[in-house]
Structure 1
Amino acid sequence: MHSWTDTLRFAFQPVVNLTTGGIAALEVLARPEAGDILAEARRDPELDGKLAVLAVRAAARKETLLPLHINVFAATLADLGGLGPLHEAVRQAGRLPWEVTLDVGPPFTHVPQQALLDAVTALRETGFRISADGVGDGDLPLRVLHDMAPDLVKLDMSLLDRPAAVGAMRTLCDQLGALLSVEGVETELQYTAAVSAGAQLGQGELFAPPARLPVAEVYVPPRPSGSASGSRPGPSVREFVRPAALLPDTASAGQVRALLTGSPEVSGVLLVDRDGVPVRSVHRSRFLLSMSGRYGHALYADRPAARLGDVPRTVGADATAWEVLDVVADGARDRTSDDVAVVDRYGRCVGVVRLADLVRALAESRVEEAAGLNPLTRLPGSDAITGEVDRRIADGRPFALSWLDVDHFKQVNDGAGFAAGDDLIRAVGRALQHAASGSTRVGHIGGDDFLVLTDPEGLNALVASVLDTPWSAGGRPVTLSLATVLCVPGSVVEHRQAAACLAPLKEAAKALNGASWVLGRAGLPGHEIRRGEGPTASQTRVVVAEPLG
């Protein structure tokens, strides 16, 4: 009698890093040739657990070194808890738990939520990574998603035409320290939408369809310009993570050599302890050079490979690309080509980054940034400022957004000449840059208009630096007008709303005589006149000036 396993096959679909274009992992998909095993597994946790075990064994037979994504239903975890047989299957396959991500999928309705969360916690403590699968098209409650604190959120492609929802999910992922992936990407337009929405990973027919044999290469379209790169200054290191080649720290030099010679794409091996913490880093070229010497194989083959390794370079998963470059720059010159290990909050390796990937991406970002600079002042335009406004709103940080311009600038140009007008604009831009400190951002949005984004406590010093300065153009005195809106968490939901609050404040400032400054608060009527002469106090909501710094 034939077993149901005789008609069960597995396919492998790559999970693609949308920044590097490399394969980050393989999702192992059950493909029954007869019957509806998956429907039965949804009702039978024991069967679903067996499918997960068989998926790991199928991947082991293909001898792939890539990390694996294994599907399990939420009800299976709630019912079976720690998935003991899966642990054993991973061990027998020569894998480490942190090389396996469990894609926890719907349905979640009627699943005991606390039992599910307890199972997720137990699996994570043993090293497995957790992914929330089918988000956006399933029934996963937001509260449970938050409490699961997954390492990865897989978003259904149908949400790409709802950018506000995707943006909210990206914000949640950033706060949870999770990556965002989009499933079911079939067209280049969907790819562009996924990248623009801030997704770091993707799956779908566009890159590569599921196949019986793991693919070595995938198709990734050119990355759209101006795409999102995370909420932190500089691209996040998570965007560049590649799978790491891991071996136990007890591995022999012969075992490392076998891995390297059988996998030419591997640039180095990390030796990790029982908890997955990198102990030594083995660089491909230096290691093989030592082994290929006259007595190299005889001397080292049966000895610990750690003797031929170096202290690993590590960065946290929340680091930026610039911080990785700092780590590389601080080390020995002969190790600049070494991979840098990326570790989670427990110190466990989650992958590696290569210097070439970082340099290429940072160079591209600098080109894009230069293209957006105003040619007169070399300051960024409005996109850079409004993007940072949205990040501060998402992070729940208070901020002050100010709009500065020159009074009667057309008369300045007409009377003193455009060259004198250009000199004045450049001088104002330099003054703003000199006054800016810390997290302050200055932008030149065209003509005589500037945007300044700063923390509320840094506003007074900035205002004094530009409004207390005597300005002139071609010997003619000139004054400036400044409008500021203070935004506390919850008062605005995006940069357009902050800009809308700022527009009437600018109009009020321009109506005053002399150097002027008008300040308002988002969500509250009226404004305060802090500098300038004109309307009486009864025409405005004048309040005793509260200290801003």
Structure 2
Amino acid sequence: MSEQQALHSIIARGEITTVFQPIIDMAKRQILGYEALSRGPKGSLLERPDALFRAAQQAERLSELELLCRSNAIARFVDQDLPGKLFINVSPITLLDPHHPRGETLHLLEKYGLAANRVVIEITEQDKVDDGFLLLKNIAHYRELGLSIAIDDLGAGYSGLKQWSELCPDFVKLDRYFVDHCDQSIVKREFLKTIVELAKATGTAVIAEGIERFEELKLLESLGIAHAQGYLLERPTLSPSKELSHAKLAQFKLEGPRTALQSSLVIGNLVVDQRAITNLTKCKDAHQVFEQDKRLASLAVVDELQRPVGLLHRDQLTEVFAGPYGHALFAKKAVTELMDKQPLIVDENDKLDVVSQQITEHEFDIRRHIIITRDGRYLGLAPLRDILKHITEEKIRHAQHANPLTMLPGNVAINEAIEQRLRTQQTFSLAYIDLNHFKQFNDLYGYASGDSVIKLLADVTLAVCRYSPTFVGHIGGDDFMVVFDGDDAEQLCHDIIEGFEAQSKAFFTPEHVKSGGYWATNREGQKQFVPLLTLSIGLVRPDLEHCQNSHQVAALATDAKKEAKRYRNSYLFICNRRKPTVPVVRINRTAEKANALPY
């Protein structure tokens, strides 16, 4: 059988298999949605999708094939009750095909009961488009239905950034070329940084696909790319995972807080318990609800399973009803006609600063509310003003305790970071970093140079730790503490020593560098040779069962640092003791004889 015969048979019999690959939201530690991928009959000439769609395009039956794939994807997605969003690939050629049936997507959504705001149309960037205006018109049609738009394979095709600026997509999916071994390519890393900055400026979410190595995932998350897809996370399958298991989170080290600020508050603390209306509610009935309670500014709209599908605002409904024909036109229509179809919906466990970032990046109206869910179902609303107020207060609180020289978190935040890990029984390591010979350097080269050296140590530490889950704090002076959540603490400490020693030489004269130090007068007035600046690091891994508070953990690290300072050169002392020391009680012998209390 030829490819063309096989194609005609596939379309006639509907022999399409749909597999789904999860797209992970690394910031929220949950599944964002699934990309639907189509396959031809197993073992046939057109089993592979590239061969299948190439044959369809050659036979000028691409529109028919895509419609069949779309129908199958929606049906299988709903049948499995998969959470999140459904990403469907659509070729611009199909969108511009005058014979492509209009309104079929809406018909499919209504047929299978899938909310439009849960569907993302992926426009591939690899096909050349001549009529850009017509493409924009078709995209606008999908947006009016409430669907989201994504550009697929960004960077692989013809128009790239031009298409991004014209389509204003909700998502951009990076071509896998830029993801492949990105941790080993400076060029790819800089490209990714640029894309992240553009995404922030345009309020677009970035999805990195084709991730196959842990090092790639680690770099992408550190650059601020929150959404990930690839074989490393999960391969396309007929029945994909519906949630991220604890084992998978632990495997990719996606669990646990990364900073004291991120772990301080979750959005669920600000939820307001407020009634919702269903998507079948008439506009006149919703108007009556607003009239009965003047305090209501917005009403969440939910489906029959209590999943939010939109947000209805009082001022918009009032404005429509105030028009000369507004009441007559909309009174008996469902609220879905007027509701905001793309409100911000977050889980109750999402961190406040993550939600705040979503608010500012998407430029939501400060007067509005966001919808909060629990396990995907409506829980309540939260006013945007309250969220931004709380996050601002939290940042101010941490800024008050930050070190003024390095602006790193100070003692209060360091203690909070340690206490939080003790409370949640999250294993960690703690390093106490101290500069050696700093006073003599400060006296000889001046306080400005001393401050610059402290800043250098802060910069080196942050640079070394940027790709690992860590918390870097500045105790004061030349003392720093680093909390490591990963198992690479020892290597990172060695990297800090190596990086600091290499860069700190720039603060000395060539003569002092050549001599390996300089002569200075000590406190007793005696001349002594002072080596160049070195580091002493004490590293401990506290026993979570026996360490009750941050003071006990800090004491362990302090003792380890003291041991490291016994060495003349830079030294990392790894303390094997993991439990706090038992306090020594001194007994007054005279009192003991008199049966008195211990001294």
After superposition, what is the alpha-carbon deviation per residue over 1:382-403, rounded to whole angstroms, capped at 9, x for unaligned?
A: 2112211111122222111011
Displacement, 1:324? Answer: 2.4
Separation in structure 2 between the aligned mates of residue 369 and residue 252 of structure 1, nearest angstrom: 47
Give the one of 394, 400, 415 matched to 2:444: 415
After superposition, what is the alpha-carbon deviation per residue over 1:334-353, rounded to whole angstroms, capped at 9, x for unaligned?
A: 756432111111x2211111
AA of the residue aligned to 1:486 = R
Taking a change above 3 Å as real, the CA distance of residues 323 and 409 of structure 1, as seen in their structure-2 partners, is: closer
| Higher Rg | 2
- Equivalent position of 1:516 in the other structure: 571
Equivalent pairs, count: 296
Taking a change above 3 Å as real, the CA distance of residues 433 and 283 of structure 1, as seen in their structure-2 partners, is: same
- Equivalent position of 2:349 in the other structure: 318
Taking a change above 3 Å as real, the CA distance of residues 326 and 419 of structure 1, as seen in their structure-2 partners, is: closer
- Equivalent position of 1:497 in the other structure: 552
- Equivalent position of 2:267 in the other structure: 237
Displacement, 1:486? Answer: 1.2
Displacement, 1:234? Answer: 5.1
- Equivalent position of 1:168 in the other structure: none
SS in 2 for 1:343: strand
- Equivalent position of 1:282 in the other structure: 312
Separation in structure 1 between the aligned mates of residue 480 and residue 260 of structure 2, nearest angstrom: 25
SS in 2 for 1:518: strand
AA of the residue aligned to 1:460 = E
Give the one of 381, 399, 405 matched to 1:352: 381
SS in 2 for 1:514: coil
Separation in structure 1 between the aligned mates of residue 371 and residue 267 of structure 2, nearest angstrom: 11
Displacement, 1:448? Answer: 1.0
- Equivalent position of 1:304 in the other structure: 334
State whether residues 403 and 410 of structure 2, in contact with CA within 8 Å, keep that contact through their aligned partners in structure 1. Answer: yes
Displacement, 1:458? Answer: 2.5
After superposition, what is the alpha-carbon deviation per residue over 1:403-430, rounded to whole angstroms, capped at 9, x for unaligned?
A: 1111132222222222221121111111
Separation in structure 2 between the aligned mates of residue 271 and residue 456 of structure 1, nearest angstrom: 42
Report matched runs for 1:383-532 at 5 Å. 383-437=412-466, 438-468=468-498, 469-470=501-502, 471-472=504-505, 473-475=507-509, 476=517, 477-523=532-578
Separation in structure 1 between the aligned mates of residue 557 and residue 431 of structure 2, nearest angstrom: 8
Give the one of 297, 301, 306 matched to 1:267: 297
- Equivalent position of 1:295 in the other structure: 325
Separation in structure 2 between the aligned mates of residue 230 and residue 236 of structure 1, nearest angstrom: 12
State whether residues 541 and 578 of structure 2, in contact with CA within 8 Å, keep that contact through their aligned partners in structure 1. Answer: no
Which moved further from structure 2: 415-424 or 485-494? 485-494
Separation in structure 1 between the aligned mates of residue 310 and residue 556 of structure 2, nearest angstrom: 55
Taking a change above 3 Å as real, the CA distance of residues 412 and 448 of structure 1, as seen in their structure-2 partners, is: same
Taking a change above 3 Å as real, the CA distance of residues 336 and 447 of structure 1, as seen in their structure-2 partners, is: closer
- Equivalent position of 2:196 in the other structure: none
Separation in structure 1 between the aligned mates of residue 459 and residue 554 of structure 2, nearest angstrom: 24
State whether residues 260 and 413 of structure 2, in contact with CA within 8 Å, keep that contact through their aligned partners in structure 1. Answer: no
Separation in structure 1 between the aligned mates of residue 399 and residue 361 of structure 2, nearest angstrom: 27
Displacement, 1:248? Answer: 2.9
Displacement, 1:315? Answer: 0.9
Separation in structure 2 between the aligned mates of residue 230 and residue 410 of structure 1, nearest angstrom: 31
Displacement, 1:368? Answer: 1.9
Separation in structure 2 between the aligned mates of residue 525 and residue 456 of structure 1, nearest angstrom: 22
Displacement, 1:236? Answer: 0.6
Give the one of 356, 373, 381 matched to 2:402: 373
Q: What is the RMSD of the two structures over their aligned residues, measured on CA atoms?
A: 2.5
SS in 2 for 1:239: helix
Displacement, 1:313? Answer: 3.0
SS in 2 for 1:487: coil
Separation in structure 1 between the aligned mates of residue 497 and residue 358 of structure 2, nearest angstrom: 42
Displacement, 1:274? Answer: 3.5
Which moved further from structure 2: 484-493 or 246-255? 484-493
AA of the residue aligned to 2:351 = T
Give the one of 254, 258, 277 matched to 1:247: 277
After superposition, what is the alpha-carbon deviation per residue over 1:500-527, rounded to whole angstroms, capped at 9, x for unaligned?
A: 212221221111121111111343699x
After superposition, what is the alpha-carbon deviation per residue over 1:470-498, rounded to whole angstroms, capped at 9, x for unaligned?
A: 43444352111111111254242221111
Displacement, 1:326? Answer: 4.4
AA of the residue aligned to 2:572 = W
Report matched runs for 1:97-108 at 5 Å. none
Give the one of 336, 343, 362 matched to 2:373: 343
- Equivalent position of 2:114 in the other structure: none
| Gap regions ≥5 residues in structure 1 | 1-228, 527-549
- Equivalent position of 1:144 in the other structure: none
Separation in structure 2 between the aligned mates of residue 230 and residue 428 of structure 1, nearest angstrom: 21
After superposition, what is the alpha-carbon deviation per residue over 1:185-231, rounded to whole angstroms, capped at 9, x for unaligned?
A: xxxxxxxxxxxxxxxxxxxxxxxxxxxxxxxxxxxxxxxxxxxx999
State whether residues 431 and 539 of structure 2, in contact with CA within 8 Å, keep that contact through their aligned partners in structure 1. Answer: yes
SS in 1 for 2:454: helix
Separation in structure 1 between the aligned mates of residue 580 and residue 289 of structure 2, nearest angstrom: 68
AA of the residue aligned to 1:433 = L
Displacement, 1:310? Answer: 2.4
Separation in structure 2 between the aligned mates of residue 484 and residue 380 of structure 1, nearest angstrom: 19
| Gap regions ≥5 residues in structure 2 | 1-258, 510-516, 518-531, 582-599
SS in 2 for 1:457: coil
Separation in structure 2 between the aligned mates of residue 456 and residue 279 of structure 1, nearest angstrom: 39
AA of the residue aligned to 1:480 = L
Taking a change above 3 Å as real, the CA distance of residues 449 and 343 of structure 1, as seen in their structure-2 partners, is: same
Displacement, 1:266? Answer: 0.8
- Equivalent position of 2:63 in the other structure: none
State whether residues 261 and 395 of structure 2, in contact with CA within 8 Å, keep that contact through their aligned partners in structure 1. Answer: no
State whether residues 435 and 461 of structure 1, in contact with CA within 8 Å, keep that contact through their aligned partners in structure 2. Answer: no
Taking a change above 3 Å as real, the CA distance of residues 489 and 374 of structure 1, as seen in their structure-2 partners, is: same
Percent identical residues: 25
State whether residues 481 and 509 of structure 1, in contact with CA within 8 Å, keep that contact through their aligned partners in structure 2. Answer: yes
State whether residues 253 and 300 of structure 1, in contact with CA within 8 Å, keep that contact through their aligned partners in structure 2. Answer: yes
SS in 1 for 2:545: coil
Separation in structure 2 between the aligned mates of residue 439 and residue 377 of structure 1, nearest angstrom: 20
Separation in structure 1 between the aligned mates of residue 446 and residue 260 of structure 2, nearest angstrom: 43
- Equivalent position of 1:24 in the other structure: none
Separation in structure 1 between the aligned mates of residue 556 and residue 410 of structure 2, nearest angstrom: 19
State whether residues 253 and 302 of structure 1, in contact with CA within 8 Å, keep that contact through their aligned partners in structure 2. Answer: yes
Taking a change above 3 Å as real, the CA distance of residues 394 and 234 of structure 1, as seen in their structure-2 partners, is: closer
Separation in structure 1 between the aligned mates of residue 358 and residue 554 of structure 2, nearest angstrom: 39
Separation in structure 1 between the aligned mates of residue 371 and residue 298 of structure 2, nearest angstrom: 11
State whether residues 485 and 502 of structure 1, in contact with CA within 8 Å, keep that contact through their aligned partners in structure 2. Answer: yes
Which moved further from structure 2: 419-428 or 301-310? 301-310
Separation in structure 1 between the aligned mates of residue 309 and residue 489 of structure 2, nearest angstrom: 47
